């Protein structure tokens, strides 16, 4: 992850808290899955699988990206801020198979500039649930917009989906989603600057 430009004031920290999972239900589901796949969950080699299954889902859903560091104090409004190449892990809502995404976020501060770890927190909060890449990108953009008060926000996500790579078309390849809001929509200099920074 790299931060190209940053500065500014502290804002609220209302990033959606992760829900608690039903651990017992996950254990039962893990066991049922083993049965549904045609194996004996009481066989020695399978005995720990329902617990591991429950543990990994709990860890994924209840993931806490950690405390946000202090944001900086306010700066000029026409400076482009770009945080690029944040690797996120998520699970596809359609297949419940993992995907990962390299996400870049840009915005033009409107008096408020977020700290680096807040970007990561926002991004991870959007990723740690059954998700669709497009919706995840939209959610990140909306939260950044809310936290910064800026309407000029862009998110580019490049994802690799196991549901594409290991089943179905079995074709590894990246899926790109682009969210452009405010000044970025006009594809003017702000947009070009963003794209340029991603290529740098
Ligand atoms: Zn899928």
Q: What is the per-residue pLDDT across 99-147, written as a single tens digit (0 to 9) for each?
A: 999 999 999 988 877 887 889 899 999 999 999 999 999 999 999 999 9
Distance 98 CA to ligand 1 centre (A): 8
Distance 59 CA to ligand 1 centre (A): 20
pLDDT of residue 50: 98
Residues in the chain: 200
Distance 129 CA to ligand 1 centre (A): 13
Distance 21 CA to ligand 1 centre (A): 22
Residues near 39 by Cβ (< 8 Å), separated by ≥ 6? 46
Task: Determine which helix (DSSP H) or strand (DSSP E) holds 191, and give its type and residue range.
Answer: helix 189-199
Instruction: Give the tens place of pLDDT for each residue, 36-83.
Output: 999 999 999 999 999 999 999 999 999 887 654 444 445 556 678 899
pLDDT bucket at 17, cuts 50 / 70 / 90? low
Instruction: Give the tens place of pLDDT for each residue, 155-169.
Output: 999 999 999 888 777
1 CB-side CA count, 13 A: 17
Whether residue 11 has pLDDT greater than 90? no
Residues near 173 by Cβ (< 8 Å), separated by ≥ 6? 160, 164, 165
């Amino acid at each position: 992850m790299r931060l190209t430009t940053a500065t500014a004031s502290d804002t609220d920290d209302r990033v959606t808290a992760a829900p608690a999972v039903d651990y017992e239900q996950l254990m039962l589901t893990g066991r049922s899955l083993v049965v549904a796949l045609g194996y004996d969950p009481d066989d020695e080699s399978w005995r720990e699988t329902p617990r591991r299954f429950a543990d990994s889902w709990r860890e994924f859903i209840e993931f806490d990206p950690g405390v946000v560091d202090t944001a900086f104090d306010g700066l000029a409004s026409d400076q482009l801020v770009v945080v690029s190449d944040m690797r996120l892990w998520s699970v596809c809502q359609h297949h419940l198979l993992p995907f990962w995404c390299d996400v870049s976020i840009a915005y033009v501060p409107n008096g408020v500039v977020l700290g680096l770890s807040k970007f990561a927190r926002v991004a991870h909060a959007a990723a740690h649930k059954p998700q669709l890449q497009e919706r995840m990108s939209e959610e990140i953009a909306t939260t950044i917009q809310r936290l910064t008060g800026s309407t000029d926000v862009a998110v580019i996500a490049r994802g690799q989906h196991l549901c594409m790579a290991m089943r179905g078309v079995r074709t590894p390849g990246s899926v790109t989603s682009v969210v452009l809001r405010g000044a970025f929509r006009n594809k003017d200099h702000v947009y070009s600057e963003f794209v340029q920074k991603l290529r740098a």
